[in-house]
C-alpha cells in the first residue's frame, strides 16, 4: 500500500443494458458522482467504467477501493471497457467492521455475480487481496474469464507459511487494531496496522491523499485479519485453464517474491513479469509500466 497514487481520472459511466431489468435497492450511504451501483447478492456494489470494447474488470486490495486504479488508468487505451469495482464493505460504504460476510468466499461470489452481468467473457485483473478474490472467481467459473492477471496474490498456503501460529498473529493484530479504533483514534489504529504489516514508519511517510483512502477503508484491515484462511493447493492453482499473467514488483517484499515464484511453479504455463522500480502496489507505483505489460498481455 506504500506510495499509493490517488489521482482523479475522468470516467464514462456505462449503464449495461442487462442491468436495466434488475431491481436496485438504494444504499444507505452516499454514492460519489463518478460511480454507479448494481445490486449484487443483495448488496449495492459500487463501480466506475470507461471506454468501449472488451471488458476488463479491476479488483482492488485491502484498505483501498475502486479509486486505487485511478493512476494506472490515466493512459489506459479506451479500446477496452474498463470497470473498477469496490468490493463489499469497502468505500463508499463506511463499514464499521460488523457482520460475518467479509470473506474471500463472499467477495468471490459477489465478483462472479457482477461478471455474469457484463458482456463476456471478461479479462480479470486483481491486485493483492483482490488477486485472491479474482483467483477464486476464476477457479469457480472459468468460462466467465478470458484472461486472468494476478498481482501478488497472497496465497500463503502455496509456500507452507499459513499455519496456526501465523494465523494467531494475524488475528491478534486485527483485534488490537479494532481495540485502538474503538478508542476513537482511527489514525492511531491505522498507524499500528500499516506499520505492523509493512514495517515501522510507513504510515507517517504516506501522503495525506493516500491516507484518506486508507481511512475510508479502515475496518477492512480488521476484516481480512479475522478471516478464516483459505487454503489453496498447488495442484488446484495449476488447474487454471485460461491464460494467466503473474505480476510482481521489483522492490516487493520477500514474502510476495516467494509467493509469485511458487505460483509460477504450480502453473508453469503462466507468464511472469516484474514491474521495475515498484513494490507490492506496482500498479500505482509504476502505472505506465504496469499498463504496458498488462495491455500487451490482453492484446495477444
For residue 150, what is the domain's CATH number? Answer: 3.40.50.1820
Of 195, 225, 255, the residue that ends a domain is 225
Look at residue 164 in the predicted model and tell me its pLDDT: 56
Domain identity same for 21 and 69: yes
Q: Note the pLDDT of residue 166.
A: 64
Task: Look at residue 4 and tell me if it is in a domain.
Answer: no
What pLDDT does 14 receive? 33
Q: Is residue 12 part of a domain?
A: no
Domain count within the chain: 2
Kindly tell me the burial class for residue 205, based on how many C-beta atoms sit within 10 Å of its own C-beta (0-12, 13-18, 19 or more). Answer: exposed
Query: How many other CB atoms are found less than 10 A from the CB of residue 32?
Result: 12
pLDDT of res. 2: 39
Q: Residue 197: which domain range? A: 164-225
Residue-by-residue pLDDT tens, the chain, 300 positions: 434 433 333 333 333 333 333 444 678 999 999 999 999 999 999 999 999 999 999 999 999 999 999 988 888 999 999 999 999 999 999 999 999 999 999 999 999 999 999 998 999 999 999 999 999 999 999 999 999 999 999 998 998 765 555 677 788 989 999 999 999 999 999 999 988 877 778 889 888 988 999 999 999 999 999 888 778 999 999 999 999 999 999 998 888 999 999 999 999 999 999 999 998 889 998 999 999 999 999 999
Residue 24, CA atoms < 13 Å, CB-side half-sphere: 13
Shared-domain flag, residues 64 and 130 = yes
Domain end point (choices 177, 202, 225): 225
Per-residue pLDDT at 79: 94
What sign does the CA torsion over 251, 252, 255, 260 have? negative
How far apart, in whole angstroms, are the C-alpha atoms of residue 46 and residue 44?
A: 6
Q: Are residues 43 and 93 in the same domain?
A: yes
Which has the closest alpha carbon to 178: 244, 113, 128, 170?
Answer: 170
- 8 located within any domain: no
The reported pLDDT for the residue numbered 165 is 53
Q: What is the C-alpha separation between 161 and 19, in angstroms, rounded?
A: 42
Domain for residue 108, yes or no? Answer: yes
- In this structure, the answer to whether residues 58 and 180 fall within a common structural domain is no
Let me know: does 30 contact 131? Beta carbons within 8 Å: no
- Residue 35 and residue 168 in one domain: no
**pLDDT for res 206:** 86
- Mark which of 225, 252, 270 sits at the end of a domain: 225
Residue 272 lies inside a defined structural domain of this protein: yes
206 and 268 in a single domain? The answer is no
Same domain, 71 and 138: yes
Q: Are residues 275 and 198 in the same domain?
A: no
Say whether both 195 and 60 belong to one domain: no
What's the pLDDT at 211?
95
Q: What is the pTM of this model?
A: 0.89
3-state helix, strand, coil in the chain (%, to 5): 40, 15, 45
- 294 assigned to some structural domain: yes
Q: Is the same domain home to 118 and 34?
A: yes
Rg over alpha carbons for the chain, rounded to the nearest Å, is 18
pLDDT computed for residue 128 by the predictor = 94
What pLDDT score does 37 carry? 97
Q: Which residue has the cell 502453473?
A: 267
* Predicted pLDDT at 101: 95
Give the model's pLDDT for residue 9: 35
Q: Is residue 145 part of a domain?
A: yes
- Give the pLDDT of residue 82: 97
Rounded distance between C-alpha atoms, residue 81 and residue 50, angstroms = 6
Is residue 173 located within the same domain as residue 218? yes
Residue 3 in any domain: the answer is no
pLDDT value at position 122?
A: 98
Same domain, 192 and 103: no
Residue 141 CB burial class (10 angstroms; 0-12, 13-18, ≥19): middle
Give the model's pLDDT for residue 25.
60
Amino acid at each position: 500500500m506504500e506510495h499509493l497514487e490517488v489521482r482523479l481520472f475522468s470516467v464514462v459511466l456505462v449503464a449495461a443494458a442487462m442491468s436495466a431489468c434488475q431491481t436496485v435497492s438504494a444504499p444507505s450511504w452516499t454514492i460519489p458522482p463518478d460511480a454507479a451501483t448494481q445490486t449484487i447478492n443483495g448488496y449495492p456494489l459500487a463501480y466506475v467504467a470507461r471506454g468501449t470494447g472488451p471488458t476488463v474488470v479491476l479488483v482492488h486490495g485491502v484498505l483501498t477501493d475502486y479509486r486505487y486504479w485511478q493512476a494506472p488508468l490515466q493512459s489506459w487505451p479506451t479500446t477496452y471497457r474498463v470497470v473498477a469495482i469496490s468490493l463489499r464493505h469497502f468505500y463508499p460504504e463506511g463499514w464499521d467492521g460488523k457482520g460475518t460476510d467479509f470473506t474471500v468466499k463472499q467477495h468471490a461470489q459477489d465478483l462472479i455475480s457482477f461478471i455474469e452481468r457484463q458482456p463476456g467473457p471478461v479479462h480479470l485483473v486483481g491486485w493483492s487481496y483482490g488477486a485472491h478474490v479474482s483467483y477464486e472467481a476464476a477457479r469457480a467459473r472459468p468460462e466467465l474469464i478470458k484472461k486472468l492477471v494476478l498481482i501478488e496474490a497472497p496465497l500463503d498456503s502455496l509456500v507452507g507459511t499459513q499455519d496456526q501460529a501465523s494465523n494467531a498473529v494475524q488475528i491478534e493484530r486485527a483485534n488490537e487494531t479494532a481495540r485502538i479504533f474503538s478508542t476513537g483514534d482511527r489514525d492511531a489504529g491505522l498507524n499500528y496496522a500499516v506499520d505492523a504489516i509493512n514495517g515501522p514508519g510507513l504510515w507517517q511517510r504516506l501522503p495525506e491523499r493516500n491516507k484518506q483512502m486508507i481511512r475510508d477503508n479502515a475496518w477492512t484491515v480488521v476484516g481480512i485479519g479475522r478471516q478464516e484462511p483459505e487454503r489453496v493447493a498447488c495442484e488446484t492453482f495449476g488447474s487454471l485453464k485460461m491464460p494467466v499473467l503473474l505480476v510482481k514488483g521489483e522492490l516487493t517484499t520477500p514474502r510476495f517474491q516467494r509467493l509469485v515464484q511458487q505460483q509460477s511453479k504450480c502453473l508453469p504455463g503462466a507468464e511472469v513479469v516484474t514491474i521495475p522500480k515498484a513494490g507490492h502496489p506496482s500498479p500505482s507505483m509504476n502505472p505506465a509500466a504496469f499498463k504496458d505489460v498488462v495491455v500487451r498481455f490482453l492484446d495477444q
